[in-house]
Chain A
């Protein structure tokens, strides 16, 4: 094994270009004769479009064209799809309203595009977009999912009566009701999961060009999955057949889920590039990002937990209203269903679970997967109610959890998932030690002496990652398979190119994936390059989300490497006249074990390509591909413990300590994993204390800029203590589970459990802003005074 192999803290190869400003993002791309697109967007949350008058705009300097939905539909561009079919409990398919890339009849959220201007410069396009006169007739709007379900609510799509998209269930209702009938104690909680705006550093961008002679399109775009984008653009939006469409996702500055989907702007740029006969570029500004990037979360839930006389959990019942916004985004239907309710068993042995989820249209920005996607919502529900039950029963949070932990594997939950491996006790113990749990009462006393309140809270999360076994997700309604592909090309000089369908938008694949080759052949990572993000280069791939690039993407690379290694060994055995079984590859050399006979890796590679002396019948070359389809989800799990201090005079919450003890299975590069955990925890703390997308009753997004939407900053978070325990995942060759989302999943309930512990008010919702915490303390104070 080389010093850059599995487990080594190799510095990120890609960082040189990122931190010297030499990254190449979509907006950095320029093509000859390129024009700029600006979108005309609805200022209303719900309105009829009565007319669109582009005459003044068309007269303005530099303006090439103003296009609207009539032309788009006329040219046969398809409606935007949702790629996961969900059936309601009565067996009917989900009720999907039509979503056009440019809307010309009824707009349903602020920011929805009704027309596009193409002009010579970005400013000219924007000036002209303001001059497009759209006559709207305002309709009543509704922004909250429960309000949208209420009688008499404004009807948003004719297809979905009462704004109900589906009414879905999972688990055994009768068995769960039985458990509640027998229960000795029932804990009940109303829980909201606040709506978030993803806010990747790089806003979305698209540059499309059309080659008239070849009838071929190229799209540069900010995508986490360029092949999926090509597939959907060609199969559903009728832009061009796949072989006439190249999609390139170059450097992408963060996605967090929001760049999985194929948005109206990408479709329109492609379509417009042919219509106007020049390349068309669009780059979102931050306001457009707030209004049009798919949002995350937004659930209202009621949860009930049934305990027996020994404080063992015997049943869990959940009812959730999920706000999907004005349209069904690409994977929106899977998030509050199979990515959510299948995790409601948490780390616990729960014999009976039943969940009902109603997905609802509202006049808000569409909601889809955002870092964690369903699993943060499940974990928040489970870990808040577990903590609450422990408090109600007078048990320590750790004791109550231990009593109910799953300890034997595999473990089949009542909600589909079969946990393959884990040691929940180990991470709980590690976390409690790391935060000095026993020392907490002394620290609390110290805070109290200084006029502060202190609280501690834990969260024992589990997530299903490594998304996903194709057959299983297919049976649950997914429109695609979720395998991954890889190709390992050894060049004649012995350097290596790895082509992968995974897409790196901050994850460090160029480093970790190269470490696999270093590990296998003892080659320096400098001799390896990772090729991704271009449908003309990589055969096919499903992209990066759901913490899948390690467990699924790297597994495909391992399979391809197995084939390369076997062939290299056959060649070497032939050249050195040794038995294949005696050949070992290490330190960049191919050796005959137990002798001093050896060849350099380069010599073997060269031999493969000269073809002068290969084993009888062997094809020349040293290049192998593989597809890997996982056999199960993976189940990263761990314990997060948060300690907060609250200033009772202002309500300000400060996170003073935070420990994450995670089990990610095999770790390739601990430094990169720690980075993923730090980022995830910061997003989790952001959700718990700071971030909140707020709409007013008219459907205007009040928190539509950083003046009002609180992104976490470095001084909002403590210096984290992160550590790991390891049980290998038995399902994939490297034993990897995935680490990309754990922080955002585990942190929010740990923070709120700590805040509610500090202030003694269990009703606190996210974000626990200073004003809300202060109000809660005022009520508590009044209660005390009244007693």
Chain B
């Protein structure tokens, strides 16, 4: 690790001024991605602004319209274990419980995960499929506009994710095929069905990060069953290919995980 300056921010305002004053500052949340990257000397921020003690980023609450608002600083274990999340968006609670291992789930945060937008991370699939909105210290963004590519988001360098709001969706499920080594998603498929129709989002498999699977959404809209997916050809063109699996293999996994997610709901 290179030498860096640590700032413990006590409020959003303090965090904003600390990052503004820093030469090349980075926000620090659970540190589950940033710290290993720094230890490997792949990142060298001059300053770390710790967001873990910001009251503004804490807590899970049910809103008037039934949606669930999750503070960016909420760890994965708290999302997985929240009765509100389990009742309103069961697929989201299940997804959070599949991230990493217990250590990671008690340290890693939803804000850190989506800000990082690892193409194999789990949360982006839920945000896309559920049509979540992301509240920052500057604006509110739809998930579609937030994720812009592999490790890329719409966030500006000094922009802080404050909370993510998920519409309630009782019929929601996530199926994940973990990478054997890292146990991130090789293919993770989130399906969500409500009165407006069906939304399917895929993480882990695509070259450009998370994406919506339009064909599957249509097929499932017409026929809500795992069989509806059986006939769909998932193209391998834009799939990742690496030492763990070819693009064809990932395309297959997308289909299989989608079937399993739907099957788990019927």
Chain A interface residues toward B at CB < 8 A: 123, 126-127, 130, 287, 649-652, 690, 692, 694, 702-703, 706-711, 769-771, 774-775
Question: Given known contacts A130-B41, A702-B243, A769-B180, what 14 new A-B pairs fall within 8 Å (CB)?
Answer: A123-B1, A123-B2, A127-B2, A650-B253, A651-B249, A706-B181, A707-B181, A708-B243, A709-B181, A710-B181, A770-B180, A770-B245, A771-B246, A774-B252
* Assembly CA distance A711 to B179 (angstroms): 12
How many residues of chain B are within 8 Å of chain A by beta carbon? 17
Sample (8) of A-B pairs whose CB atoms are under 8 Å apart: A126-B41, A703-B243, A707-B181, A707-B182, A708-B181, A708-B244, A771-B244, A774-B249
* Assembly CA distance A36 to B266 (angstroms): 61
B243 touches which of A126, A651, A694 (Cβ 8 Å): A694
Chain B interface residues toward A at CB < 8 A: 1-3, 40-41, 177, 180-182, 243-246, 249, 252-253, 256
Min CB distance B2 to A, Å, is 7
* Assembly CA distance A649 to B257 (angstroms): 10
CB neighbours (8 Å) of A708 from chain B are 181-182, 243-244
Min CB distance A684 to B, Å, is 17
Min CB distance A715 to B, Å, is 10
Give the interface SS of chain A, mostly helix, strand, loop or mixed: loop
* Assembly CA distance A3 to B40 (angstroms): 51
Min CB distance A90 to B, Å, is 39
Nearest first, the 8 closest Cβ-Cβ pairs linking A and B are: A771-B245, A710-B181, A707-B182, A771-B249, A649-B256, A710-B180, A694-B243, A708-B181
CB neighbours (8 Å) of A650 from chain B are 177, 252-253, 256
* Assembly CA distance A236 to B245 (angstroms): 46
Q: Is the CB of A690 within 8 A of B180?
A: yes
CB neighbours (8 Å) of A709 from chain B are 181
* Assembly CA distance A706 to B184 (angstroms): 12
Task: Knowing A769-B244, A771-B249 are in contact, say whether A706-B1 is a contact too (CB < 8 A).
Answer: no
Q: Is the CB of A775 within 8 A of B249?
A: yes
* Assembly CA distance A127 to B1 (angstroms): 9
* Assembly CA distance A690 to B41 (angstroms): 28
* Assembly CA distance A123 to B2 (angstroms): 7
* Assembly CA distance A708 to B180 (angstroms): 8
Task: Knowing A710-B180, A710-B181 are in contact, say whether A287-B245 is a contact too (CB < 8 A).
Answer: no
* Assembly CA distance A769 to B245 (angstroms): 9
Residue of B41, B180, B245, B246 with most partner-chain A CB within 10 A: B180
CB neighbours (8 Å) of A769 from chain B are 180, 244-245
CB neighbours (8 Å) of A770 from chain B are 177, 180, 245, 249
* Assembly CA distance A694 to B180 (angstroms): 15
* Assembly CA distance A702 to B3 (angstroms): 28
* Assembly CA distance A130 to B182 (angstroms): 28
CB neighbours (8 Å) of B249 from chain A are 651, 770-771, 774-775
CB neighbours (8 Å) of B253 from chain A are 650
CB neighbours (8 Å) of B181 from chain A are 690, 703, 706-711
* Assembly CA distance A123 to B41 (angstroms): 11
* Assembly CA distance A724 to B246 (angstroms): 43
Min CB distance A63 to B, Å, is 15
* Assembly CA distance A707 to B252 (angstroms): 22
Min CB distance A207 to B, Å, is 21
Q: Which residue of A lies closest to B182 (CB)?
A: A707
Q: Is the CB of A706 within 8 A of B182?
A: yes
* Assembly CA distance A59 to B3 (angstroms): 17
Q: Which residue of A lies closest to B244 (CB)?
A: A771
* Assembly CA distance A707 to B182 (angstroms): 4
CB neighbours (8 Å) of B177 from chain A are 650, 652, 770
Q: Which residue of B lies closest to A691 (CB)?
A: B181
* Assembly CA distance A96 to B40 (angstroms): 35
Task: Knowing A708-B182, A771-B244, A774-B252 are in contact, say whether A287-B2 is a contact too (CB < 8 A).
Answer: no
Min CB distance B118 to A, Å, is 11
Min CB distance A452 to B, Å, is 14
CB neighbours (8 Å) of A652 from chain B are 177
Min CB distance A345 to B, Å, is 35
* Assembly CA distance A123 to B39 (angstroms): 10
Q: Is the CB of B40 within 8 A of A287?
A: yes
* Assembly CA distance A769 to B252 (angstroms): 15
* Assembly CA distance A601 to B246 (angstroms): 70
* Assembly CA distance A694 to B249 (angstroms): 19
CB neighbours (8 Å) of B3 from chain A are 123
Q: Which residue of A lies closest to B184 (CB)?
A: A707
CB neighbours (8 Å) of B182 from chain A are 706-708
Q: Which residue of A lies closest to B255 (CB)?
A: A649
Min CB distance A682 to B, Å, is 15
CB neighbours (8 Å) of A710 from chain B are 180-181
Min CB distance A416 to B, Å, is 39
Q: Which residue of B lies closest to A127 (CB)?
A: B2
Q: Which residue of B lies closest to A712 (CB)?
A: B180
Min CB distance A735 to B, Å, is 41
Min CB distance B105 to A, Å, is 16
Q: Which residue of A lies closest to B120 (CB)?
A: A707
Min CB distance A108 to B, Å, is 23
* Assembly CA distance A649 to B252 (angstroms): 8
CB neighbours (8 Å) of A707 from chain B are 181-182
